[in-house]
A and B are shown apart, each in its own frame.
Chain A
Amino acid sequence: MSTIKKFEKPLGMRDTFPETYEKIETARQIGRNFLRSRGFDFIETPTLEYYDTVGKASAIFDARLFKLVDSQGNTLVLRPDMTSPIARVATSKLLKEKIPLRLAYSANVFRAQQKEGGRPAEFGQMGIEIIGDKSVFADAEVIITAINLIQEFGIESFTITIGHAGVLEGILKDYTENTDQYETLRKLLVERNYVGFEEAVKSFDLPQVKSDALLQFINKATHLTTIKDIEQYVRKNDALEDMIQLSKLIEQAGLSEYISFDFTLSSHMNYYTGMLFEVYAAGSGFVLGNGGRYDGLLQLFDSDVGATGFSLRTDRLLEVLPNKEEQEDSTVCIIFEGHEFSKALELATTFRNNGERVTLQSKDGLLNEEAFTKLFGRVVYVNQEEGQ
């Protein structure tokens, strides 16, 4: 390993400079106001959690967790997601006060990076969780809130793809002969390796009917505009009924144009039990956010209430936000000479009361006055000659 240079940061850690900071903060404000207006309460959880609780429950691969040891010898993790800490606090405390809970968060999460030092290992997530409601209406609320939130940001070109863990499980189990085959196919779908899926199906020596059904399924089920198209592959069951209902609710909300169905959609997170979805927006090559029903996670915290939610990545949000006209909020710079300090203070207060940003700078403290004053929209000098 080479020696660490003075300016270096740990792999994947980034500084946020003023311009970006303002953009993030603006996005957070928009999100916060919007989600609060929908009845979601914001919550904050600790940055450090026990490995044995949140670390293990989290869907993030072990190798990507930042681990530390506390003075008692317990292993800690930097929170890798917000969903598992919220599940922890909800099951231990909040659910006793209110059920269902509608919680929201905007916080940074940590996932270690091994590849390409440039990828962020710490990034912001904004999202909601509805805990203690197993009905399909809660799922619909999550998706509708996600769509409306993205609209609130002024993003026009986006789409949400919805799948269902239960429907997929039903189809894969019906058409395979054993759990090994089922697991293999599921894993290939998580990787979105459709070629591998077809090869695996062919290699299983399944009865013709079954392998044909699977091959047809993989060809057709990735892009469905209506839920009807899946019905031929799956027996009537609760999971499917759920999805039919969900699709109707989104239609009633007038938001059908933003969604499509992909019943091959699958997540490495095993705790997703019901519908799950991903959010894509033009302008970024990476998924903007995802969500779903994760009753299974609550079970890890000894609770059998339902939970559903979504999160967006704030760093990717910045990539897809429409470019607003940079409204240079001009800052006034007051440069004063030592003995005019009180006069300068007075002037600054007047400007500030008018809603202006004011920088107060003594002339004595300036090394290069010309370079410094260039950075401001307006410069006001307080000295005796002007007799302000």
Chain B
Amino acid sequence: MTSELTIAMPKGRIFEEAYQMLIDAGFNLPEEVEMSRKLMIEIPEENIRFILAKPMDVPVYVEHGVADIGIAGKDVLLEQQRKVHELLDLKISKCYIASAGLPNTKMNEIAPRIATKYPNIALNYYKEIGEQVEIIELNGSIELAPMIGLADRIVDIVSTGRTLKENGLVEYEHISDISSRLIANPVSYRMKSERILEIVARLKKILN
């Protein structure tokens, strides 16, 4: 019997979508999983174990090898730059990162302030376009920052654009496309290559 494979999954909607993908890919998983408060789900039929983590934490588990593979948003991967292999674009929970602000405003010339949940992504973006900025890290309700005068721009995830609109903000620059990715620990990728490659191959088939 092959060794157990541990998969780190983000809690919530992405888990459900990804779980369904695995079922579609022919993995023998129970249709209904009871996951109200559970952090770990064992699937003895497939010798798979899911661990449920905060989306931001999935790459941490994978980098340290306590999870062999995982499903993580590209936003998190870009922000944290961890040493994991990015194997597959699952094309779920698609959205993008953009900068936004109040309509018809210019960035403050002296020290434009950028509010964001993604300080590294924001910093790298403005560095690349040669703009000197001050990054203000917030944990949520980012849209508030330009409205109340804390920042000139925000850098955040946009999926439909509704939240921006409702708060009277407009999008300025498209920074990066985001979707969920299958990632692997570098050692597991080699030591458990057969199982991981099989998952990749089967998922690829249903993606195309």
Contact = CB atoms under 8 A, between A and B. Distances in A.
Interface of A: 157, 159, 161, 191-196, 198-199, 223, 260, 278, 280-282, 284-287
Interface string B53-91: 000000000011110000000000000000111111100
A223 B197 contact: yes
Contact of A284 (B65, B84, B88, B197): B65
Interface centre among A161, A191, A192 (most CB of B within 10 A): A192
Given A191-B86, A285-B186, 19 more contacts: A157-B191, A159-B190, A161-B190, A192-B85, A192-B86, A194-B85, A194-B86, A195-B86, A195-B88, A195-B181, A199-B89, A223-B197, A260-B190, A281-B191, A285-B66, A285-B185, A285-B187, A286-B83, A287-B187
Nearest to A193: B86
A220 to B, nearest CB: 11
8 contacts: A157-B191, A194-B87, A195-B89, A199-B89, A280-B186, A280-B190, A282-B191, A286-B186
Residue from B87, B181, B188, B190 whose CB has the most chain A CB atoms within 10 Å: B190
B191 A280 contact: yes
A198 B197 CA distance: 17
Contacts, number: 53
B167 interface: no
Contact of A285 (B64, B85, B181): B64
Given A195-B181, A223-B193, A285-B63, A280 B187 contact: yes
A191 B85 CA distance: 7
A195 B207 CA distance: 13
Interface of B: 63-66, 83-89, 181, 185-188, 190-191, 193, 197
Contacts of B83: 286
Nearest to A199: B89
A157 B87 CA distance: 24
A159 B189 CA distance: 11
Top 7 A-B residue pairs of the complex, sorted by shortest distance between their CB atoms: A285-B65, A192-B85, A280-B190, A280-B187, A193-B86, A285-B64, A195-B89
Contacts of A157: 191
A281 B186 CA distance: 11
Given A285-B64, A287-B187, A195 B87 contact: yes
B15 to A, nearest CB: 20
Given A223-B193, A223-B197, A284 B187 contact: yes
A119 to B, nearest CB: 11
Contacts of B86: 191-196
A223 B88 CA distance: 16
Given A223-B197, A285-B63, A192 B88 contact: no
A281 B83 CA distance: 17
A91 to B, nearest CB: 32
Nearest to B80: A115
